[in-house]
Structure 1
Amino acid sequence: MKEGQERKMCVLQEDQELEFYYELASRALNNYNMPETTVYFLQKSDTVTFKLESSSGVYLLKIHNQAQTRESIESELRWLQAIKEDTDLVVSEPYLNIKGHLVTEIMRGDTPFLVTIQHWIEGEVLNREPTAEEALALGRLISTLHKHSREWERPEGFSRVSYDLEQLDATVQAMQALVTHGIIADNVYVIYQETVRMMKIEIEAFPKSEANWGLIHSDLHESNYVVHHDRISPIDFSACGFGYYLLDLAETCQHLSRENRRILVHAYGEQIKLPDQLDRLLEAFILWAVIRGFAFHAGNPDEREYLSETVPAIAEAWCSKYLQDVRFLFTG
């Protein structure tokens, strides 16, 4: 097949796939008490998402990954409901179907698809470094989530993934694909293996107590919070699960400037007591967040150029310092 024909086939397949998802979304809407609605496709990643506009409001429709269970999706949405009821955070609360259920099942042949609708959160994703005021608000936002996690009595049957040390082992193993495909050199991968070995020693000594471990967002980077006037709202809780609170803090910190890291950590620490030897420990969790991101993108051909540059750069800039017990959190 010639290159032009291949492109046409690819476009045709994409059109057919999009038509398929539009049909699922349309059928799902029959299960909701919603006035005439205009449906806009947003994107396909782990989930397929649509924006819904109707006279009753604006909403987000998700067709969930088939690897997700009803129990896991319902658990995510129940936490969002509780955050909405118990805190002053503005979050994307679920919109119930006509049966009063959080999740709608749509059958296509013998295959079930799980669909949810949530209220749309107004705001813009930042395409710049946050201001000092925004970094302060982020620290307070994360502390509010963690305080709620500590105090909330989870309902029976609540089920979410755990981000434990076994998961850390799995992520660094997934990075082996970068060596296999010639994206990074073997000696770079060895640096990450040694870094993880040291991180595990550090983290294993950190008690998995109620003060340190609980329900976290786990993916609160710059694409997963939006700014509307002076308000910052967390979005996309699809990766929420049980983990160390410092991992949540680290996920946000890794993307910030040194000064904004200081501001965010200070704001968080005003609400929640931070552990002794914080710098070294938080650096371990920042490296965990970085490695998890690399592992996530390792199988994506579109990310190879980025990974070929960034993975060795982080090994030199951060991993090497961590292995030498040289601080980088607020200095690099």
Structure 2
Amino acid sequence: MNAILNEALNNYEVQCPKVEFIRHNENETYKVKDELTNAQYVVRIHKPSEKFSLDVFGDEKHSVSLLESEMKLINSIRENTDILVQQPIKNKEGSFVTVLNDGTPVTLLSWIEGSTVQESKINEEVLFTIGKMVGKFHRFSKKYSKDSNLDRYSYDKSLLVNTILKIKTGVELNILSSEQLKVVVDAANEIANRMNELELIENSKGIVHSDLAKSNLILHEGQVAPIDFCLCGNSYYYMDLGSLFSHFDNLEQRKSILSGYKSIIDEEIDTKYIEAFMVFQIILFIATHINNGENLEWFSAAIERWSKEFFIPLANNISFIEL
């Protein structure tokens, strides 16, 4: 066990920890089992990987205020919905966020047993359950967002501008061509146009998860549990649908997800807005990985594919999602 992880765990009532590394993106994440009590946890050391940049959010690391608000949100979901989520664990001082000697914040949450959607064979029932869970979360958010005053990221036009500025550095680094950058900028401009349209629709925005990747969805006894709310924030609810559609590209899968969603949120869903936020997800991914683009063999080819399949059609108001 490395020194920083040892220091982190010493702040909690974990007596005999057995540690397993999970991943390192925006956080350094480990599974921890207390072999004395058999309790299982997730510990997150909030120090982004060198391959992952939080610059577009105006952050080098997650602030204590952001993490406290994340814990508050998760607890509110636990108290006010039947959505299965992790339980935030307080440290020995009674706080949900621990700050290490070097200033690095740490959080501990309960472990949810199960497998990720990424690791599992999924069927129509699972997909419907995913959509239903997101619908329940948005139904909760529509009430909660009006009264809460959380310190969260905002997935809005300002972030869109920051994202483009970050991607522009890819031209200086010879990772992107000027032509590729123009395609991304044109797509971003159309995203901004569609955000303006959504501003005219009542209750179109609130707290969203924003990162509904297959690895952040846990299957547990017939339920789908969302994990890793670290990047959650204020945006249009279509942000989460765009997130799902960027990870589930099969037509029938998308239909099943939307069926589950609409079983809770009985509203018309316009695919033009799903397309906008699906592209927003992709360009956010580019921006957070652009510093390491030259070391990613697939990066250049992926830019070309995304441009052809998504960016250019969006900029030209050509639909690329069929339902």
TM-score (norm 1): 0.84
1-structure distance, mates of 2:179, 2:152: 36
Equivalent residue of 1:203, what SS?
Answer: helix
The CA distance in 1 between the partners of 2:189 and 2:21, in whole Å, is: 43
CA deviation profile, 1:232-272 (whole Å, cap 9, x unmatched): 11111110111111011111112211221122123212221
Matched, 1:225 2:205: no
> Which amino acid in structure 1 is aligned with residue 107 of structure 2?
T
Given that residues 259 and 330 in structure 1 are in contact (C-alpha distance below 8 angstroms), is that contact kept between their aligned partners in structure 2? no
1:109-156 alpha-carbon deviations (Å, 9 max, x no partner) = xx3232221101112221477422221111111111111112227887
Structure 1 unmatched runs, 5+: 1-18
- Is it true that 1:117 corresponds to 2:108 in the alignment? yes
Alignment of 1:73-112 (within 5 A): 73-107=67-101, 111-112=102-103
Indicate yes or no: 2:244 matched with 1:252.
yes
Residue 45 (1) aligns with residue 25 (2): yes
Aligned to 1:70: 64
Rounded Cα–Cα distance in structure 1 between residues aligned with 2:309 and 2:198? 25
SS at match of 1:286: helix
Supply the distance in 1 between the matched residues of 2:301 and 2:11 (Cα, whole angstroms). Answer: 47
Distance 1:185-1:143 versus aligned 2 partners, 3 A rule: same
Counterpart secondary structure, 2:134 = helix
Measured in 2, the distance between the counterparts of 1:67 and 1:81 equals 22
CA deviations 1:142-201 (Å, max 9, x no partner) are: 111111112227887631111111101221232223333333432222122112222212
1:319 to 295, 299, 311: 311
Aligned length: 307
Q: Distance in 2 between matches of 1:303 and 1:242?
A: 32
Separation (CA, whole Å) in 2 of partners of 1:85 and 1:288: 31
Confirm or deny: 8 A CA contact 1:213 1:242 kept in the other structure: yes
| Separation in structure 1 between the aligned mates of residue 290 and residue 272 of structure 2, nearest angstrom | 27
Higher RCO (C-alpha under 8 Å, 6+ residues apart): 2
Deviation at 1:230, TM superposition (A): 2.4
CA distance in 1, matches of 2:13, 2:174: 52
1:89-238 aligned at under 5 Å gives the runs: 89-107=83-101, 111-125=102-116, 126-127=118-119, 130-152=122-144, 158-207=150-199, 211-238=203-230
User: Separation in 2 of the partners of 1:156 and 1:228?
Assistant: 29
**Structure 2: runs of 5 or more not aligned:** 48-59
Distance in 2, matches of 1:210 and 1:130, equals 34
Residues 183 and 304, structure 1, Cα contact 8 Å, conserved in 2: no
Q: Is the 8 A contact 1:195 1:322 kept in 2?
A: yes
Aligned partner of residue 299 in structure 1, secondary structure: helix
> Does 304-313 or 120-129 show the bigger shift?
120-129
Q: Is 1:35–2:15 an aligned residue pair?
A: yes
Is the 1:224–1:234 contact (alpha carbons within 8 Å) kept by the matching residues of 2?
yes
Query: In structure 2, what is the Cα distance between the partners aligned to 1:205 and 1:153?
Result: 20
- Using a 3 Å threshold, how does the CA distance of structure 1 residues 29 and 315 change in structure 2: closer, same or farther? closer
Q: Against the structure 1 CA distance between its residues 209 and 327, is the aligned structure 2 distance closer, same or farther, given a 3 Å change threshold?
A: closer
CA distance in structure 2 between the partners assigned to 1:156 and 1:294 by the alignment? 31
- The alpha carbon displacement at 1:24 in A equals 2.8
Q: Secondary structure in 1 aligned to 2:88? A: coil
In 2, distance between residues paired with 1:155 and 1:299? 38
2:296 to 292, 300, 304: 304
Which stretch of structure 1 is more off in the superposition, 33-42 or 306-315? 33-42
- Provide the rounded CA distance (Å) in 1 between the counterparts of 2:276 and 2:146: 29
Equivalents in 2 of 1:154, 1:206: separation in Å? 17
Q: Percent identity among equivalent residues?
A: 25
- For the residues of structure 2 that align with 1:206 and 1:117, how far apart are their CA atoms? 36
Determine which structure has more spread, i.e. the larger CA radius of gyration: 1
Cα root mean square deviation, aligned: 2.4
Distance 2:221 2:149 in 1: 38
Equivalents in 1 of 2:187, 2:255: separation in Å? 24
